[in-house]
Amino acid sequence: MSDSDIRAPQQRPSLGEMGLDQQAQLERERHLLVDARPGRELNAMVLEPMMRIGRAFWPAVGVLGFLVLTWWVTWGFQMWWNVGITGLNRVVMWSLYIANYVYLIGIAEAGTFIAAALRLLDIDWRRPISRIAELLTVFCIFASALFPLAHLGRTWKFYWLLPYPNERQLWPNFHSALIWDLTATLSYLATSTLFFYIDLIPDAALARDHVHGWRRTLNSWLALGWRGTERQWRLLKVAQLIFSIGILLIMPSVHTVVSYDFAMTIQPGWHSTVFGPYFVAGAIYSGVAAIIIAAILFQRLNHWSYFIRDEHLNGLGIFLLLTSLVWDYFFFQDFIVPWYGQVPTEKQVLLTMMAGHGQLAFWLMITANAIIPFFTLWWRRVRTSWPAMLAISILIQLGLLLERYIIVTIDLGVRELPFNWGLYQPRAAELIMSTGAVAFIVLGFVVFSKLIPFVVLYEVKEGQFLVQLKRIGKGLIRSKME
């Protein structure tokens, strides 16, 4: 049954009329887990892009490396020339650094959260993309963890935030939300990195066995002598389960704690009780969008149309739509309560956002986060077409960064005593550091894609083993063995 016989989908007979083999062919086309390929072929398909250094690799590393370098140089310059080079003023003393921190740690949390949640719910379309999600977390966490340090006035005294024993009997102030941020970020950094590493071990072993040169030594180190024995697999399964549950618990706590930086103050526009879940929803929303971007890029660049198919994009698209609606709900909460309360300063916050200094950012955010996803993601055709999903996801990233920017700088600009309202314009230093952070994440992906396999092969193989086509009456269905 060669491929050419299959007519264009619109002339294709309905399922009822098709023969069994035609149905099987259709199922294999649509679903990865049904379209099993021999192991060696799968290994080659994953390891071959890892080995090949394409034409565009070095220029990409060069450009991204330059951006990351400008980030570090700007930070050094700011430490020498003091915080005056930023656009901060006496009223708005937090800006893009904190907005970037919240935005990047938001993406980071969603990465592992999605990998962990989908694993526990045993949803099959997670299998090829879970490594992309976990790696996204690792890089975003490192990038975001550096921003609270960059915004310190005296960065060289950051160690005073850590509870180290000292002879001056001074301990950090555990009443402060910044210390909670510190603990939350560090704990999440540890758990998500370990979670990523545990998933990596079998694949590293696979790479160790099929690759030569320095990557072999690297992956052999990473594989920690993994032999694939039954006891090792059982221990790995238990470890993955524990970490998945751990991540499910830690993720909401981390981003709620990050939102407490704002919710715990008495600043109009910040002290609202909905900030906890609102920030968690925003985090997952931006995380899913980031995973979609990464998945599409890998599908296109590594020609992995076999691994990442329409069903995965469709699954992610539905999840994106779901998180979009949840975010809309929480944003509406955060918006309607001040409007209805008519407290003068909080009404002024809304006025500044909608019609004042921040209106451009506000309406761009609303269209990017709420309007466009709502009117596009309902259709399967949109969800499965990669250019549309790429565009929507990038817009959502921009929208959510703007949302954090608005919350930090516009809300902070409206104070109780009207003499002290403030406007904020970002300056070069902050923009360079923002682009530098994003470049750091992309650079991480580009470099790591040449070091370790980017598809969790053993999960894909396990999925393909478990899912069989079963014949019931005239139809074929995919059934999954327990």
What residue spans of 302-455 are helical by DSSP H? 310-341, 344-354, 359-366, 372-376, 380-384, 386-405, 411-413, 428-448
Minimum gap (Å) between residue 416 Cβ and other proteins: 4
Record the tokens describing residue 57, joined without a space.
């690799």
Question: Which residues contact residue 155 at a Cβ distance below 8 angstroms, ignoring those fewer than 6 apart?
Answer: 79, 149
Question: Which residues contact residue 132 at a Cβ distance below 8 angstroms, ignoring those fewer than 6 apart?
Answer: 291, 294, 295, 298, 454
Q: Taking CB under 8 A as the rule, does residue 93 contact other proteins? A: yes
Residue-level length of the chain:
482
Q: Taking CB under 8 A as the rule, does residue 236 contact other proteins? A: no
Count of residues near other proteins by CB under 8 A: 59
Rounded to whole angstroms, the Cα distance separating 234 from 192 reads: 21
> Which of 419, 472, 473, 481 is in the footprint of other proteins by CB under 8 A?
419
Q: Taking CB under 8 A as the rule, does residue 429 contact other proteins? A: no
Across-strand partners of 468? Answer: 479
- Three-state SS string over 187-230 comes to HHHHHHHHHHHHHHHHHHHHHHHHCCCHHHHHHHHHHCCCCCCH
Minimum gap (Å) between residue 157 Cβ and other proteins: 5
Stretch that binds other proteins, among 81-89, 128-136, 308-316, 471-479 (CB under 8 A): 81-89
Site for other proteins in 244-263 (CB under 8 A): 245, 261
Minimum gap (Å) between residue 178 Cβ and other proteins: 4
Rounded to whole angstroms, the Cα distance separating 57 from 262 reads: 41
Site for other proteins in 23-42 (CB under 8 A): none
Asked if 129 contacts 308 with a C-beta cutoff of 8 angstroms, the reply is: yes
Minimum gap (Å) between residue 427 Cβ and other proteins: 9
Q: Which lies closer to other proteins via its Cβ, residue 171 or residue 221?
A: 171
Q: Taking CB under 8 A as the rule, does residue 203 contact other proteins? A: no
Question: Under DSSP, is residue 148 helix (H, G, I), strand (E, B) or coil?
Answer: helix
Q: Taking CB under 8 A as the rule, does residue 172 contact other proteins? A: yes
How many beta carbons lie within 10 A of that of residue 333, not counting itself? 15
Q: Which lies closer to other proteins via its Cβ, residue 136 or residue 414?
A: 414
Stretch that binds other proteins, among 22-30, 209-217, 219-227, 237-245 (CB under 8 A): 237-245
Q: Taking CB under 8 A as the rule, does residue 418 contact other proteins? A: yes
Q: Taking CB under 8 A as the rule, does residue 193 contact other proteins? A: no
> Which of 31, 126, 151, 461 is in the footprint of other proteins by CB under 8 A?
151
DSSP code at position 124 = G
Rounded to whole angstroms, the Cα distance separating 92 from 90 reads: 6
Q: Taking CB under 8 A as the rule, does residue 415 contact other proteins? A: yes
Minimum gap (Å) between residue 184 Cβ and other proteins: 13
Rounded to whole angstroms, the Cα distance separating 302 from 323 reads: 28
Q: Which lies closer to other proteins via its Cβ, residue 2 or residue 169?
A: 169
Rounded to whole angstroms, the Cα distance separating 394 from 398 reads: 6
Stretch that binds other proteins, among 109-117, 174-182, 283-291, 392-400 (CB under 8 A): 174-182
Binding positions for other proteins, rule: CB under 8 A: 81-84, 87-91, 93-94, 148, 151-154, 157-158, 160-161, 163, 165-173, 175-179, 182, 237-238, 241-242, 245, 261, 264-267, 344, 348, 356, 412, 415-423
